[in-house]
Structure 1
């Protein structure tokens, strides 16, 4: 399974030049795509806990962190107030859910990633 994640990460790195060009030829999606690389690296190097529930939580934490990182890119570069408000909501919700998942992992006796 890790090879599949490596392939996805490679495709994510190759995707910005192919798919992220706006009408002026700028890669507007590149900063968003870059937020996914740490997520894929974290997931690729993750060892199974041998508990399907814990593994779900372990995989979701970097996924949620990637959403937070992407929302921060929006706050830094975006200019639409409604979209920026959505980014703030995503950050708040995902941070709360990561905290919940960490608590659930602790309850399951599994160490959460940093």
Structure 2
């Protein structure tokens, strides 16, 4: 069963697609292989986070939240739309990972780079989202 914002994985968990614009979510729902995501539940692949410190857990969580939506975009038939949607998910993950660096990192150079990533990736997400809103459903 597929919801408005996600797709069910093998453990009944939904990949949270809410990080994607509506045009991307619609295209995933309309793809010829909507069940392709079955069995691709990333949480099972990541294993236990037991023994990880807080920074490691935050980094792992950022990756898990990005991977499901990013993988789901590969079910979109239109390559231009799939590219934009996949990159939006990818950039959202990059921002989350950079935020982990800002919160837990000590090196000022790394933290400055993390902030640059956040600023540039947000701008690119805005541009790609505008493209999706203009072009989704027209291909």
TM-score calculated relative to the size of structure 1: 0.71
Provide the aligned C-alpha RMSD in A. Answer: 2.6
Deviations 1:4-47 (A, max 9, x none): 642x44222x1644xx85xxxx4642210111222233345659
After superposing on structure 2, the runs of 4+ consecutive aligned residues of structure 1 that deviate more than 4 Å are 44-49
Residue 134 of structure 2 is aligned to residue 104 of structure 1: no
TM-score calculated relative to the size of structure 2: 0.60
Number of equivalences? 102
Q: More strand per residue: 1 or 2? A: 2
Alignment partners' CA distance in 2, 1:47 and 1:84: 32
Residue in structure 1 matched with residue 17 of structure 2 by the alignment: none
**What SS does the aligned partner of 1:29 have?**
helix
Residue 120 of structure 2 is aligned to residue 86 of structure 1: no
Shift of 1:53: 0.9
Shift of 1:63: 1.3
- Unaligned regions of 5+ residues in structure 1, if any? none
